[in-house]
Amino acid sequence: MSGVAIEDLLELWSAELRKAKARLGWLIDHPSVLASAAAFLDTLLGPERRKTGWMRAEAAGDVGPWRQQAVLGRSHWDALRDVVRDYALETLAEGDAVLVIDKSGFLKQGKASCGVARQYTAGKITNCQVGVFAAYVSTKGHALIDRQLYLPKAWTDNLERRAAVPEDVKFATKPHLAVAMIERAIGAGVPFSWVAADSGVGEVEMALRRAGKGYVLGVTAQFLSWDKPEPVSGTAEAIAAAGLALGSAVRRRRGTPPLRLSGVGRSRCPSLLRLSLRVDERGLLIRLSDGKMAFFSTWCPKGTPLEALVEGRRWAIEDAF
């Protein structure tokens, strides 16, 4: 938007916000509730550093937070999620886009927030909520399009706490939530060719293979290439170490020919390598940083350049937050 006068830019931004609010009309049919939902958006975008209910109410000119709480207490959030997704796709949609899936934690001090427990986030185990998120990334930009709160068994299996959880919500692992998001995106006709995630080998991987979607998924331990006739398995670290040591081949077992690598392909970034475990779509991507290696299972069409796998789009969720 360079070269645009500030007043014109503000008017464009305001007009787009009015359009976004208007989309809520088909979802919220009562005028007063629709007005509260619009005020909720305004206060979230406002300058207040903390967005508590009372502070939002004061900014909206209400005597208390009850009007906005009435909006939050309604059961239209899945439909609203789809409104946000479709709104983002109007601008960002591309056939070769990437769906980035990752979890994020939200620190909490109390125990009442739904799903709160001592869980791993930000490099440590602490009291928090954890959500799984999906971001849509194209050359035009990126935006969050899906989300799901993770509920530990301490919530789903606790009769007292279940009172705060909808009856149809059952315990689901984070990979299962990720698969549900992928299937939801495919069912809605979201155009994308790739999925990137820090984990997901197994359940997520199989779902993507069935859907014919390329992927770059973090793998921390066992790696299996099930391509026939001779699958390769082992820890990612051992496979990578053997490949880097030989430079061009990995030997599977005595009496068999070496497993060819793609020349231990390097991208423009010298800290990224790809070992193609067969001359096809299956591969192991290695990131080198400060002498440590991180591993990613990849699946993509033949001839896909290494740069296409390491563009760094998987940071979109962190960027969004």
Q: What is the pLDDT of residues 2-30, one digit of tens each?
A: 678 899 999 999 999 998 888 888 788 78
pLDDT at 279: 35
- Residue linked to tokens 């439909």: 79
The domain ranges of the chain are 6-72, 77-192, 214-317
Q: What is the pLDDT of residues 60-98, one digit of tens each?
A: 889 998 888 888 877 678 888 999 999 999 999 999 899
The band of 305, judged by pLDDT with boundaries at 50, 70 and 90, is confident
Type of residue at 111: K
pLDDT at 53: 86
Question: Taking residues 166-193, what's their average pLDDT?
Answer: 93
pLDDT of 285 over the 50 cut: yes
Cβ partners under 8 Å of residue 165, min gap 6: 114, 151, 155, 156
CB 135, CB 97: distance < 8 Å: no
Taking the complete model, does pTM exceed 0.75, yes or no?
yes
Q: What is the pLDDT of residues 205-260, one digit of tens each?
A: 889 988 989 888 887 666 655 554 555 566 777 766 665 544 433 333 344 443 33
- Is the alpha carbon torsion for 65, 66, 67, 73 positive or negative? positive
CB 36, CB 21: distance < 8 Å: no
Cβ neighbour number for residue 106 with a 10 Å cutoff: 14
pLDDT at 179: 96
